[in-house]
Structure 1
Amino acid sequence: MPVYLDCNATTPVESEVLEVITRYLAEEYGNAGSRTHEFGVRAKQAVERAREQVAAVVAARRDDVIFTNGATESNNIVLLGLAGSTEGATRRHIVSTAIEHKAVLEPLEHLMKRGFEVTLIHPGASGRVDAQAVLDAVRPDTLLVSVMHANNETGVVQPVEAIAAGLPNEVWLHVDAAQTFGKLIPPLQNPRIDLISVSAHKIFGPKGIGALISRRRNGQRAPVSPLMFGGGQERGVRPGTQAVHLIAGFGMAAELALRDHVEREAACLRFRDGVLTATSQLGGQINGDQDHCLPHVLNVSLPGLNSEAAMVTLKGVLALSNGSACTSTSYDPSHVLVAMGLDRDRIDSALRLSWCHLTPAVDWPHVCELLRRMM
């Protein structure tokens, strides 16, 4: 099997997480909404325990956590739900960035068709937006500022703390933290961040479960209207039968992330040394500000080497990508690298490598030899 270097797309599942998932599938299979017997009571307890585990990562309250099927759904609930609220009827301007995930950009396109104005801030070659540029774009009619915490393609961490510090009180702040929840702990504990979108499968949990964390600020939560109705689960924001096994697995993954994030980061930094050595030997050009970058991600362009051809050559050796897994069927150039102003040759030769504390060693001399034959 090739060495898996696509952890930004999804991570492997930790063994402790898998044990929890299996238990709530095979043994504790009750419906959390069944209150008349012990199976339902224990399922409900598992859901509430997981809510506490997820909330603890960002220093939130248990009732701030709304379970969804992942960050994409959470992003949609925030953008479309807030736009559909009473506040959204009177304030119809949103500030975001040109490097957001499509799960933010596409809902914003939908809102523009409904008459909302959207200002997208571009990052420049660093891949990091300027916090002051975001704040300067805020107007009296601004409803929401939505900025991802770290870019999924480059790993560049965005200045969400500086943005949070400068925002007017009446503007809601949303952070897509799919790539940083359970990895960068203190920034997401900032109480000025009103809404946080997260996915379990980015932190060694199961696919198909995530959360929207909606904090109270000055006694109020952002007035997000539900997109679906029926059942009343998750405070009515996301109704439907709760996937207890996935929720419990997510909770365990969150607990492990909070407990082990220091050791995990150290392992990722050690692995990074080998990646940097290998790519430098190939004349690689790193894309994105490395002074503000996740320790487990590298976006690098290899001059004279098409990324699609490189991935075919390395098939069976490395499993990696050249962009977001959510748009992997598209052959359009990366909207992130385009927004950074990179030229087409550099974009076409860009590869994304993302690893984790579970990633085994790579035979980098062999990898370099395979790629040199193509140059």
Structure 2
Amino acid sequence: MAVYLDYNATTPVSTEVADLVYQMMVEEFGNAGSRTHEYGVKAKQALELARSQVANIAAADKTEVIFTSGATESNNIAILGLKKFAEQAGKKHIITSKIEHKAVLEPIEHLEQQGFEVTYLDATAQGQVDTEQLKAALREHTVLVSIMHINNETGAIQPIDEICELLSEHDAYLHVDAAQSFGKYPFDLDNSRIDFISVSGHKLYAPKGVGALIMRRRGFIKPPLKPIYYGGGQEKGLRPGTLATPLIAGLGLACELAKKNAQKWLIHVSKLKAEFISALDELGAEVNGQNTSPYTLNFSVPGVNSEAAMVKLKGIVAVSNGSACTSNSYISSHVLTAMGLDTDRIAGAIRVSFGINTQHIPYKDITTALRSLM
């Protein structure tokens, strides 16, 4: 079996989380909306515990957390949910970057088609957004700035604190897609200037199909979000439908475990990444991106095409050549293109992502396989 090195695409569910999810599915299976018996009461208690566990990661209040099906839905609610407010306030300008995940770019493109004006920030060659360009792009009628925390392809850490400082005197809402960082990279997200944080469970050793949106109040004022679909009053009227209590409880526990172990995890994956880079040195590999997450390594080997590499590495390691959402496409990475990398380097880019379960990596087999393609 190939060694799994694609944790940015998805993580295995931790044993503790899986045990809790199973228990909530077959034993404590009540509907949190059922107020007339103990099954519903226990489900409601599990939800509120999970709400606190998620909130603690970002120093938020548990009342500022709503549960969703994942970061994609959270992104959609944060972005599309502002539409009515923006139109009524006459603020129809949005700022985002060219390196965002499609789960952010596509909802914004949807608003652009409906008359919103969008400024797409460039990325530096290192993979960070250009904050000077952001400063210049801000207008009186800017309603939203949406910048990810850690890029899913390169692992480039975005200057969130600097962005928060730039927005300190502006009333635009700040949305941060934290799918690749929440719980694992315990920095920046506790900044109270961040209005919306999108969370994904399956990037954090919780099940697929669950996530959260943190919506910070400004003083005592809630963000002016409206639901993007309808059918019930659950989750403060923003996200209708019966809540997936077992998955939510699992997400909560995953956050608690991350809060407890994040520093230890960072030490572990940092060591793996350093070893991997050292092994690639003999191939003349180029690392794509700087100031990157210890969990992610994106590299290109001169003369090696990533599609050929995927075939050659099959059975050795499970890696990717981009986002899992677009890995079945042969379109060049929009992230690496925005960074200004040349065509050959983009075509050769391979993404390796580490996890807490990663142990032995067959470096010799990897370098031998890649050298055979040079």
TM-score interval for Structure 1 and Structure 2 normalised by the shorter chain: over 0.9
Offset at residue 369 of structure 1 (A): 1.1
Offset at residue 131 of structure 1 (A): 1.9
Q: TM-score, normalised by structure 2?
A: 0.98
Tell me, what secondary structure is at the counterpart of 2:183?
coil
Residue 79 of structure 1 is matched in structure 2 by 79
Root-mean-square deviation (CA, aligned residues, Å) is 1.1
Residue 58 of structure 2 is matched in structure 1 by 58
C-alpha distance in 1, partners of 2:180/2:234?
26
Residue 110 of structure 2 is matched in structure 1 by 110
Tell me, what secondary structure is at the counterpart of 1:188?
coil
Letter in 2 for 1:81: G
Offset at residue 360 of structure 1 (A): 2.1
Offset at residue 171 of structure 1 (A): 1.0
In 1, are the aligned partners of 2:184 and 2:258 still within 8 Å (CA)?
Answer: yes
Letter in 1 for 2:289: G
Offset at residue 169 of structure 1 (A): 3.6
Tell me, what secondary structure is at the counterpart of 1:275?
helix
C-alpha distance in 2, partners of 1:74/1:246?
16
C-alpha distance in 2, partners of 1:316/1:86?
51
Deviations 1:311-364 (A, max 9, x none): 111101100000000112211000000000111100000000001121121121
Offset at residue 88 of structure 1 (A): 5.7
Residue 224 of structure 1 is matched in structure 2 by 225
C-alpha distance in 2, partners of 1:11/1:88?
41
In 2, are the aligned partners of 1:130 and 1:159 still within 8 Å (CA)?
Answer: no
Residue 119 of structure 1 is matched in structure 2 by 119
Residue 341 of structure 2 is matched in structure 1 by 342
In 1, are the aligned partners of 2:185 and 2:266 still within 8 Å (CA)?
Answer: no
Residue 324 of structure 2 is matched in structure 1 by 325
C-alpha distance in 1, partners of 2:17/2:159?
32
Offset at residue 89 of structure 1 (A): 5.0
Runs of 4+ displaced beyond 2 Å = 84-89
Q: TM-score, normalised by structure 1?
A: 0.98
Residue 7 of structure 2 is matched in structure 1 by 7
Residue 299 of structure 1 is matched in structure 2 by 298
Letter in 2 for 1:195: F
Tell me, what secondary structure is at the counterpart of 2:187?
helix
In 2, are the aligned partners of 1:132 and 1:163 still within 8 Å (CA)?
Answer: no
C-alpha distance in 2, partners of 1:166/1:344?
34
C-alpha distance in 1, partners of 2:88/2:238?
16
Residues matched between the structures, number: 373
C-alpha distance in 2, partners of 1:84/1:199?
26
C-alpha distance in 2, partners of 1:11/1:304?
31
C-alpha distance in 2, partners of 1:189/1:345?
39
Tell me, what secondary structure is at the counterpart of 1:161?
helix
C-alpha distance in 2, partners of 1:132/1:183?
28
In 2, are the aligned partners of 1:11 and 1:202 still within 8 Å (CA)?
Answer: yes
List gaps (5 residues or longer) in structure 1.
none
Letter in 1 for 2:297: L
C-alpha distance in 2, partners of 1:61/1:124?
35
> Which range moved further: 14-23 or 160-169?
160-169
Tell me, what secondary structure is at the counterpart of 2:248?
helix
C-alpha distance in 2, partners of 1:32/1:354?
36
C-alpha distance in 2, partners of 1:321/1:186?
26
C-alpha distance in 1, partners of 2:279/2:293?
19
Tell me, what secondary structure is at the counterpart of 1:173?
strand
C-alpha distance in 1, partners of 2:178/2:222?
19
In 1, are the aligned partners of 2:148 and 2:177 still within 8 Å (CA)?
Answer: yes
